[in-house]
Amino acid sequence: MSSDTNAFGIDFFSGNKKTLLTCIREGVKQPYSFVVTPNVDHLVQLEHDEQLRDAYLKARWRVCDSRILLSLLSRLGVHLDEAIPGSDLTLDLLKWADRDRLRIVLIGSAASEADKLRALYPGISLYHYNPPMGFIKKPEEVQRCLQFIRENPSELVLYAVGTPRGEVLAAATQPYERTGMGFSIGASISFATGTIKRAPKWMREYKLEWLHRMCMEPRRLAKRYWADAVYIVPAFLREKSSRQKGSPAKQES
């Protein structure tokens, strides 16, 4: 774990999106691995979720998803080339898969969204399975997901079931079971299909996408963003103090 790219107990991918996409093109040909996309909400969950921490340790790359988090990292002396929002990365992956006629396993999302994806990206071969609500607490349902992933070879596996469910599933798939790469993508399929409208470009550039999303889904996101805000200030100060003492703070295990 490099101290130059480590903060909040996470060793971050330091390159830009172009470099990441080049790495992914090679990675999909190799034994299965997966990517996680840390943001402030993930930092909050990592404090108390042992399965999520385990998934983060097993991930091939931890790619900063948040421009707000990128700014905090920069203030701590952790210099990454750029934030790579998961929604943007998902669009790039879909365009690449469409152009090169790749196979995708999609876990989560409604059947209607899967149909929209097939219409928007006719070059992809899409294998879709949507587990029932609360599946992550039912071992038999988790096994159905994992079996579907094993039985449908693909270059890409997209987990659209939210955090930490997507990361837990991604970590449960073993490298010897298949090739390809997995990505926990949150609501990115809804953005890709137009089911949910993304913030205007100017809001994204000014780190205000969170405000746009909260206005679109206030009941679901207001409480989450408040928890993020309450967490991040003392967490940042602890991390800064620890780094000044010469030892990066680490997540409790």
Q: For each of the chain's 253 residues, which pLDDT tens digit applies?
A: 445 899 999 999 999 999 999 999 999 999 999 999 999 999 999 989 999 999 999 999 999 998 889 999 999 999 999 999 998 999 999 999 999 999 999 999 999 999 999 999 999 999 999 999 999 999 999 999 999 999 999 999 999 999 999 999 999 999 999 999 999 998 789 778 877 665 567 556 655 565 555 555 666 656 666 666 777 888 888 888 888 776 544 444 3
Spatial CB neighbours of 195, under 8 Å, sequence gap ≥ 6: 113, 116, 189
- Interatomic CA distance for residues 175 and 99, integer angstroms: 26
| Secondary structure letter of residue 246 according to DSSP | T
- Predicted TM-score (pTM) of the model is 0.84
- Interatomic CA distance for residues 5 and 62, integer angstroms: 10
Spatial CB neighbours of 73, under 8 Å, sequence gap ≥ 6: 7, 12, 64, 79, 80
| Cα angle 103-55-214, degrees, rounded to a multiple of 5 | 80
> How far is CA 253 from each of CA 9, 46, 133, 204, rounded to the nearest angstrom?
10, 10, 29, 34
Ramachandran category for residue 124: left, alpha or beta (phi over 0 → left; psi -120 to 50 → alpha):
beta
